[in-house]
């Protein structure tokens, strides 16, 4: 695999091989990545009386969370120790021979904000907004503004195109075409369902 440079990223965008929509400014294109902005929808855990979250539980995981939509000028405040789901402002579409990784921007990380806790890998064939898993590991609350550049996406070419990319009719592509932050759909995993 090889990481795409700014030249290759621009070429892939021009040829519509990779789609990032809307790409507000060419300044978002970095030497080997593209900065992505945060949207205006956030999901956080409600205070509940259950002792733990169980993937086998029949209760919908969505019921443990609440969604907050804020205006473009209004900040979302993430407090120390808090975890929230958000989404990228941009929709991303990948071809069957390119994978991507979402990484936090160092300017955000230096405030104590982790932008993508564990699942930063984007499969070939994915299309949709990217759900961000955000935590504040610092000691002070931090304001995040819709439209602010908070993370970056890095593209890598594969040795050959995937035969069954994400979204292929034979795959269980739970997060394909997501429009906002999505809670875990772990209950749909074949190993959890017992298939």
Residues belonging to the binding site for dCTP are 105-110, 123, 131-133, 152, 166, 174, 178
- In the annotated binding site, the residues are 105-110, 123, 131-133, 152, 166, 174, 178
Question: Rounded to whole angstroms, how far apart are CA atoms 102 and 56?
Answer: 29
Question: Rounded to whole angstroms, how far apart are CA atoms 34 and 149?
Answer: 10
Active site residues: 133
Question: Rounded to whole angstroms, how far apart are CA atoms 24 and 141?
Answer: 28
Q: Which two tokens stand for residue 118?
A: 């564990």
**Where does residue 116 fall: left (phi above 0), alpha (psi -120 to 50 degrees), or beta otherwise?**
beta
Q: Is the dihedral of CA 22, 24, 26, 29 positive or negative?
A: negative
């Amino acid at each position: 695999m090889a990481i795409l440079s700014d030249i290759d990223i621009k070429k892939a965008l021009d040829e519509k091989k990779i789609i990032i929509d809307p790409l507000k400014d060419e300044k978002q294109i970095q030497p080997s990545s593209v900065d992505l902005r945060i949207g205006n929808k956030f999901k956080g855990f409600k205070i509940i009386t259950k002792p733990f979250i169980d993937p086998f539980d029949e209760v919908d995981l969505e019921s443990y969370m609440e969604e907050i939509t804020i205006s473009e000028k209004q900040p979302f405040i993430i407090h120390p120790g808090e975890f929230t789901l958000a989404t990228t402002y941009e929709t991303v579409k990948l071809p069957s021979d390119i994978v991507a990784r979402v990484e936090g921007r160092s300017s955000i990380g230096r405030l104590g904000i982790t932008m993508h806790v564990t699942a930063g890998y984007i499969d070939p064939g994915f299309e949709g907004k990217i759900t961000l898993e955000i935590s504040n590991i610092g000691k002070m609350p931090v304001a995040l503004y819709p439209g602010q550049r908070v993370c970056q996406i890095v593209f890598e070419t594969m040795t050959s195109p995937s035969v069954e990319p994400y979204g292929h009719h034979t795959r269980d592509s739970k997060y394909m075409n997501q429009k906002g932050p999505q809670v875990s759909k772990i209950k749909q995993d074949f190993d959890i369902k017992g298939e």
